[in-house]
Amino acid sequence: MEWPVQFVAICLSLLLAAVKSMRYQPNAVSEFELDRQVKAGDPAAVSERERRALLPTYLALQYTKEVALSVILAVMLLSVYGSAFGALLTALYFAAAYAIAARGWIGNAVNKFQRSLEPHITKYVITLAPLFGWLAPKTSGEHHGGFQSRDELRQLIATDDQLLAPADKARMLGAFDFSSLIVADVMVPANKIKTVDVKETIGPVLLDRLHKDGHNMFPVVKKDIDHVKGWLYMSDLTPLDPDLKQVKDAVRPTVHYLPVHAPLADVLSASLQTGRQLFIAVDDDGKTKGMVALADALAYLNGEPLAKTSPVSTKPEF
C-alpha cells in the first residue's frame, strides 16, 4: 500500500506547487490608461477591467486550494505512517512543493493554462465571489506601472496633494501643456484691445485717456482693428513734442503678425527672431482676432494664471 500512497503524495505535492505558482496579476496597463481604453470601447480593456475586479476572488480560491491540498496531503500521510514519521514525510513533501514553486519552472506552464481557462470559468468565479469575499485579500485597487500616455502623467500631477507645492504644480502643468497650446489660447481678444486711430489728435484729451488705460504702448489702427498701421509708445509722447499733431506723426510702423492657430511656442521663436514682444493674431483671411504678448506666453509656461484683460506687455519695446 505504500507505493500507491507515495504516488498520490507526489501528485498532491506537484499540484500544491502548481497552485502556489499561479500569479493572478493585472497586466502592465495602468488604471488611468485602462479607464481610457474602456471608455473608447476596447473589448480587451473591458475584459481586463472585469478580470481585475475578480482578482481578489481568484486569490481567495488559490488560498483555499492550497489549504485543501495541504490538509489532504497531511491527513493521508499521518493516517498511513503515524504521527512521527507521517509528520516528517509531510514536512518533506511540503518543502519539495515550495521548492518546486520557488524555482519557477512550472510557473509559466501553469499560468499560461490558467489564463486560457479564465474566460471559461469567469461566470463560476462571479458566482463564488460573495462566498469567498471574506477570504479575499484587501488591496488598494491601484496598479503602479509605467506611464502609457501624457494624459496619465498630467492627471497624476494635477491630482497630487502631497508631494508638490501649488506653485510647483502650476509650473509643471504650465510646462506640460505648453506644447499643446496655440496663440488663440492666450491672446487678448480683438474686442478687448485698446487702440488709437491714426487720425486722432495728440493732445490732453488723448493723453488723459491713454494714461487711464494704463499701458505703455497701443496698436494704431486705420478705422478698425483689421487695419493695424503700427504702434504708439507713451514714451514718445512724454514730454510732448509740439511737432506731433496727430497720431500718424508718432506711429512706429513695424507690425508683426502670427496666425491665430500657430503653436504658442511660435511666440517665443518669433520674439527671438524679431526682437519684438507683441504680435497681432490673424485668421486665414488676415482678419485680426487678437493680440498676443511674449509676457503672456512666458507667464503660462511659468504656471501663472492669465487674466486676458491686458492687451500689451508692461515692458516697453525698442
Residue 190 is predicted with a pLDDT of 92
Q: Report the alpha-carbon distance of residue 283 to residue 101 in Å, rounded.
A: 68
Edge-to-edge strands, sheet with 288-293: 188-189, 288-293, 278-282, 257-259
pLDDT at 144: 46
Which class for 41: exposed (0-12), middle (13-18), buried (19 or more C-beta within 10 A)? Answer: exposed
The pLDDT of residue 296 is 81
Average pLDDT along the chain: 79
State residue 260's pLDDT score. 94
Percent of the chain surpassing pLDDT 90: 15
The model's pLDDT over 6-42, given as tens digits with 9 standing for 90+, comes to 888 888 888 888 888 887 666 666 666 777 778 888 8
Alpha helix segments (H runs only) across 160-203: 166-178, 183-186
Ordered DSSP codes for 116-135:
HHHHHHHHHHHHHHHHHTTT
What kind and span of H or E run contains 278? strand 278-282
168-218 pLDDT per residue, tens: 777 676 666 677 788 998 899 999 999 999 999 988 888 888 888 888 889
Classify each residue of 51-62 as buried b or exposed e, where b means 16 or more C-beta atoms within 10 Å of its C-beta. Answer: bbebbbbbbbbb
Judged against a pLDDT cut of 50, whether residue 158 lies above it is answered with yes
Q: E strands within 184-262?
A: 188-189, 196-197, 217-222, 224-233, 257-259
pLDDT digits (tens, 9 = 90+) for 272-318: 888 888 999 999 999 999 999 888 888 777 766 554 444 444 344 43
CB-based contact 31:117 (threshold 8 Å): no
241 vs 68, more confident: 68
